[in-house]
Structure 1
Amino acid sequence: MTSKYEAEVYHCMDSTFELYERTESPLHRAILLNYWRHVHLEGAAMFEEITAPDMMADDPKYHITWGDSPFQVEGRKGVFDFYSSIGDIVLWNSGDKIAVADWGIADEMWFHQMSTGTELKKIGHKVEKDDGLYLVSSRQAFIWPYNDQALLTGEHLYEDKSTLTIEEIDPAEAMTPARVREIHKECLAEMEARMGPNYWVYRR
């Protein structure tokens, strides 16, 4: 049975592409395409592509406020290791309010995480059952600075903890990490077919 959440994953970056289509600045358009691609690469667990020189600046800095222990990550290797450490957690966003400027992206959204209690505890969430399936949701603000080459220089992720909900859900509603990776890869392939190779690279 298809999870009711699959459609949200397929459409998680619609707001970004809609803004891209309304945007005229070549730099802003390139930033939006980088952001769109980054999120789908992350969902597809394609971390080498995220940290490649055509996507990310040399010395990115991440500031993350998930759970009870905010932390920072520096450098491409640090970013790669951070993504690799997240484990089998399904992530997606919805309800985005997004803006783009020369300095980068600001996006307020609902951010969702689905996984077992064991995996969610690794990133600081407090849940009762290690083997339970949980849906974690909160309102978050993503501030992603970019340089003048439309390369990501960092991520600042801020969580409104007053909106945090952690709900145990029926395993029948689960999306497996493998299925979600497939969805993101479908989206990436469709975009490349539509936009051509290297569509995310900024050309002055």
Structure 2
Amino acid sequence: MAPRPSIPTQDAMTLLDIPRKFDVTHWPLGVEKYLEQTEKPLHRAILKNYLRHLLLEVSGYWDQIIVPELTIHEPMYRVGDRGTTLVLNGKEEVENFYRETYESRINVMGARTMNMCVEDFGVTTEAYWAHVVPGTHLHDHDVDADPDAHYLMNYHIFQMFAYTDDAKLIGERIYVDPASYTYEKLAPVDVVTPEQARIELAPLLDRATLAGSS
């Protein structure tokens, strides 16, 4: 039996369960369970928005995220990673970010394990994150990657999603621990392609509606 993966940390994340293999449904199914335990109407509405947003993003429906039902017209994102911070202001910049992610075929990602909370301001998570990327994506990661292979890029990530009083996304603040990166070369059979992710997530997306938020 293959050994269970471990998280290179000594904090509470170590206590959480990590699937041996990356499963693109693991993260949204975890959010669904969290939603089932949530009672406050505003918190439920926020989580429903968050869940639909993440499913659209990972499924590659980039043009359905920054829409009035989910997001304010001028969202603001701050994404900090490896010494730089990407600041995105407004619908066009944020939507282009999602579009470029999809067109680069690096939209398959998710938490392998996660601590999560929801409050009136929004959703906060700390996660051991996994990102399926082609070897060519790692040219600036100081790793000798095979350009013809795919890798599971793992790292620690902190995310804060802010919402309005009527549960519309205001923006995201995302910060990655640059010292936490690890890379797993994937056998072809273990590569989750964007097309496979869209198929696997379709049933979850079908039921991830904003209706019945209360």
* TM-score using structure 1 length: 0.84
Moved more, 35-44 or 69-78: 69-78
How many angstroms apart in 2 are the aligned matches of 1:199 and 1:99? 21
How many angstroms apart in 2 are the aligned matches of 1:56 and 1:125? 32
How do 1:1-204 and structure 2 match up within 5 A? 5=21, 8-86=23-101, 87-89=104-106, 90-121=108-139, 125-128=141-144, 129-189=146-206, 191=207, 198-199=210-211
CA contact (8 A) 2:152 2:184 kept: yes
CA-CA distance at 1:198 after TM superposition? 4.1
CA-CA distance at 1:185 after TM superposition? 2.0
Question: 1:90-133 CA deviation, whole Å, 9 max, x = no partner?
Answer: 21212111101111000111111112122344xx5444232232
How many angstroms apart in 1 are the aligned matches of 2:186 and 2:172? 30
Unaligned 5+ residue runs, structure 1?
Answer: none
Question: 1:13-44 CA deviation, whole Å, 9 max, x = no partner?
Answer: 23322222222211110000111111100011
Question: 1:57-85 CA deviation, whole Å, 9 max, x = no partner?
Answer: 12111111234532111111111100111
Instruction: Give the aligned length.
Output: 191
4+ residue stretches of structure 1 with deviation over 6 A? none
Q: SS of the counterpart of 2:170? A: strand
CA-CA distance at 1:180 after TM superposition? 0.8
Unaligned 5+ residue runs, structure 2?
Answer: 1-19
How many angstroms apart in 2 are the aligned matches of 1:119 and 1:69? 17
Moved more, 68-77 or 28-37: 68-77
How many angstroms apart in 2 are the aligned matches of 1:50 and 1:130? 31
Paired amino acid for 2:211: Y
Paired amino acid for 1:199: A
Moved more, 164-173 or 150-159: 164-173
Q: SS of the counterpart of 2:147? A: coil
CA contact (8 A) 2:48 2:210 kept: no
Q: Calculate percent identity across the aligned residue pairs.
A: 29
How many angstroms apart in 2 are the aligned matches of 1:188 and 1:120? 30
CA contact (8 A) 2:58 2:198 kept: yes
How many angstroms apart in 1 are the aligned matches of 2:136 and 2:170? 31
Give the aligned CA root-mean-square deviation in angstroms.
Answer: 2.1
Residues 30 and 67 from structure 1, CA distance in 2 versus in 1: closer, same or farther, beyond 3 angstroms?
same
Aligned to 2:16: none
